[in-house]
Amino acid sequence: MAIGRQAAPAVSDGTIFKRPTWTRGIGSWITTIDHKRLGILYILSSFLFMGLASVEAFIIRLQLMAPNQQLVSPDAFNQLFTMHGVTMVFLAIMPLGTGLANYFVPLLIGARDLAFPRLNAFGYWVYILGGLFIYSSFFLGGAPDVGWFAYAPLTSLSNNPGPGTDFYMLGLTITGIGTLVTAMNLIVTIISMRAPGMTMMRMPVFVWMMLITSFLIIFAFPPLTIAMVQVIFDRTFGTLFYVPEAGGLPILWQHLFWIFGHPEVYIIILPAFGVISEIIPTFSRKPLFGYPVMILSGIFIGFMGFAVWAHHMFTTGLGPVANTAFSLTSFVIGIPTGVKVFNWVGTMWGGAIRFTVPMLYSIAFLFMFVLGGITGIMLAMPPFDAQAHDSYFVVAHFHYVMGGGALFAFFAAVYYWFPKMTGKMISERIGKIAFAFFFVGFNMIFMPQHFVGLLGMPRRVQTYDEGFGFEIWNLISSSGTFVMGFGMILILLSVIWAFKNGAPAGNDPWDGRTLEWTTTSPPAHYNFAVQPVALDRDAFWAQKHPELAHADDPALYDHDYDAGGIHMPGQSWYPFLMSLFIVIGAYGILYQNFVLAALMGVLVTFTTYGWAFEGVGGYHVHPDEHESQEGATD
């Protein structure tokens, strides 16, 4: 089934580069293919970008704290909110979900790595290098300033001669490659590498949601990539896709963008649904209520996610027929979402709820996601959307969904899984204090934005005038940033402290229900010393409490799965090198240095061959040698 189960292949020395074997130091991280190390890199990188986006948001709120301020110029302001949006969506929240999936999908399904470890490393490196590529724009003539959805014809060369738009288009095309390959990798992994006994309907919900998310990515990203390539061609080679003077129809960009953009919302929120569906059962000491309904509603949401894109375009003059249709499909999505909320509450019903920090974030998620969902239904009414669209009401709405929803869920997940990833506990006491600041600050920032939007304040305005009733709400909102910022700093400090001095976590600090808690914290590089089997849904709980589960007879799975040793893949230079060449090539296109771009094209081709002919590599770990191997290979 998986690589590890086959007879040892001949170990190749590689074509150009030998397979590196570092276990420590920067080289070991650059060439790593370990899903756990890559997961940690993803998580750290996404927090780095989240920090940058938070600074941008902080400056935005300072500028808007009082009317008629000129703290930053309109141009700088446009760059700040564009980069805040781009960063949060593409470089922070989505990769945070990917990072958690990278680390935990294999552990949750009892696998030893993802199906394609080098592809996984490649996905990470194009993401981080693509992200840094976009951020380099701040030093190379100005960041993108066209908003995170970069509506044509703002992006045309005549309207936007600076390089910011090129950085946006090329950078997101590159990070999109990483997102796509990782999605394919996760699909193959989830379909083909589950532990014995883990049928599809025994998979943890987080794994299910990642499977759905990965399919969404595969269908959603190509339209965006096509649209971005068109703009790159417009700007680089003088094509006329989105040039109105030549008869181009800028509205087409909006369609292509939102055919990607709305599924993107579910690409972000479905993994969040997944982690919530892991955390609430654990801390309620009960199985998830209505597991099959949860899976089905996730699939239904994912499917319908492709049928609602034009609800972002109600004010573009689509006409009453289209507005009616897209309004109704959007309402329909409210049904499975509502069902999910009922099922989470149903999971807690009758339970023994422990108010740990991850559980607090999960409850906060429920609270804010319901509010964001309600305003979402309101915005799906085109006549009301005509008023609320592009106002601060929308800003409030999607921050409740993306921030209060997805971000709070991922914070819950980080608190929940931190002991597994590091073997250390984060202080619960500090965690609860920080949570209070984080939660109160968040609501201080975004609740008033509903009202200021209804009072007629458009979004993306660099300043506003006195006398419109906007002052008090903006002041409250901006003040909230200090409260939330203090919470964030507290969280950061407590995490750093926990790294050094945290209490040892043990294998199973939370009385977990799923397979990741059966192994050591942090797990050895081969994850499981013995191939785990899933006797029931909530596989670990079934092991701990066989009398409470409808578990299979363990004898069914009595087989030496690790005979011949566990095959662990070898490290590789190629994923990193290929990503590097792609990004350098992007600079070539950006500066119209086509010699450089062509050279990088050649090098990318070369690394593709190097990668393909590198050979399987790797080494075997033998179950009886686990103890002695650990020091040498970790």
Under the binding rule (CB under 8 A), the answer on residue 199 touching other proteins is: no
Task: Quote the CA–CA distance of 520 and 245 in Å, as a whole number.
Answer: 63
Q: How far apart are CA 206 and CA 519, in angstroms?
A: 18
Q: Judged by CB under 8 A, which stretch of 186-194, 196-204, 216-224, 387-395 contacts other proteins?
A: 387-395
Of the residues 320, 500, 501, 553, which one makes contact with other proteins according to CB under 8 A: 320
With beta carbons less than 8 A apart as the criterion, state whether 261 and 300 touch. no
Looking at residues 534 to 573 of the shown chain, list those that interact with other proteins (rule: CB under 8 A): 545, 548-549
We find the least distance from the C-beta atom of residue 159 to other proteins, in angstroms, to be 6
324 binds other proteins (CB under 8 A): yes
3-state secondary structure of 78: helix
The two structure tokens encoding residue 432? 């609860």
Interface residue with other proteins among 316, 479, 507, 593 (CB under 8 A) is 316
- CA 192/CA 119 separation, integer angstroms: 16
Q: Is 363 in the site for other proteins (CB under 8 A)?
A: yes
56: its two tokens: 């941008």
d(CA 170, CA 365) in angstroms, rounded, equals: 34
Q: Are 604 and 177 in contact (CB under 8 A)?
A: no
Q: Are 192 and 1 in contact (CB under 8 A)?
A: yes
Chosen residue from 51, 338, 522, 564 binding other proteins by CB under 8 A: 338
Indicate which single residue of 12, 23, 136, 315 sits in contact with other proteins (rule: CB under 8 A): 315
Q: How far is the CB of 125 from other proteins (least distance, A)?
A: 33
162 touching other proteins, by CB under 8 A: no
d(CA 5, CA 13) in angstroms, rounded, equals 22
List the interface residues with other proteins, window 11-50 (CB under 8 A): none
Instruction: Round to whole Å and give the CA distance between 28 and 9.
Output: 23
**Among 36, 61, 389, 420, which residue sits at the site for other proteins (rule: CB under 8 A)?**
389
Footprint on residues 269-298 left by other proteins (CB under 8 A): 284-293
Shortest spacing between CB 68 and other proteins, in angstroms: 10
Q: Where does this chain touch other proteins (CB under 8 A) — which range of 46-54, 352-360, 569-577, 585-593?
A: 352-360
Q: Minimum Å distance from CB 576 to other proteins?
A: 37
Q: How near is the Cβ of 385 to other proteins at its closest, in Å?
A: 7
Q: Is 5 in the site for other proteins (CB under 8 A)?
A: no
Cross-strand pairs, 568: 619
| Cα–chain center distance at 413 | 12
Residue among 135, 146, 45, 52 nearest 96 (CA): 45
Q: Which stretch binds other proteins (CB under 8 A): 173-181, 364-372, 403-411, 495-503?
A: 364-372
- For 621, the enclosing helix (H) or strand (E) is strand 619-621
Size of the site for other proteins (CB under 8 A): 101
Stretch that binds other proteins, among 29-37, 43-51, 110-118, 314-322 (CB under 8 A): 314-322
The residue (of 300 and 437) whose beta carbon lies closer to other proteins is 300
Nearest approach in angstroms of CB 293 to other proteins is 5
| Residues within window 367-386 making contact with other proteins, judged by CB under 8 A | 367, 370-371, 374, 377-378, 380-386
N- to C-terminal Cα separation, the chain: 25
- Residue 289's H or E segment, with its range, is none
Spatial distance between the Cα atoms of 271 and 90, rounded to a whole number of angstroms: 15
Interface mask toward other proteins for 52-91; x: CB under 8 A: ------------------x--xxx--x-------------
- Window 501 to 540, contacts with other proteins (CB under 8 A): none
Residues belonging to the chain = 634
> Between vectors from CA 550 to CA 549 and to CA 551, what angle results, nearest 5°?
85
Sign of CA dihedral 28, 34, 37, 38: positive
Binding-site string for other proteins from residue 416 to residue 455, where x marks contact by CB under 8 A and - marks none? -------------------------------xx-xx--xx
Stretch binding other proteins (CB under 8 A), from 46-54, 114-122, 208-216, 317-325: 317-325
Interacting residues with other proteins between 113 and 152 (CB under 8 A): 145-147, 151
What is the spatial distance between Cα 147 and Cα 254, in angstroms, rounded to a whole number?
Answer: 13
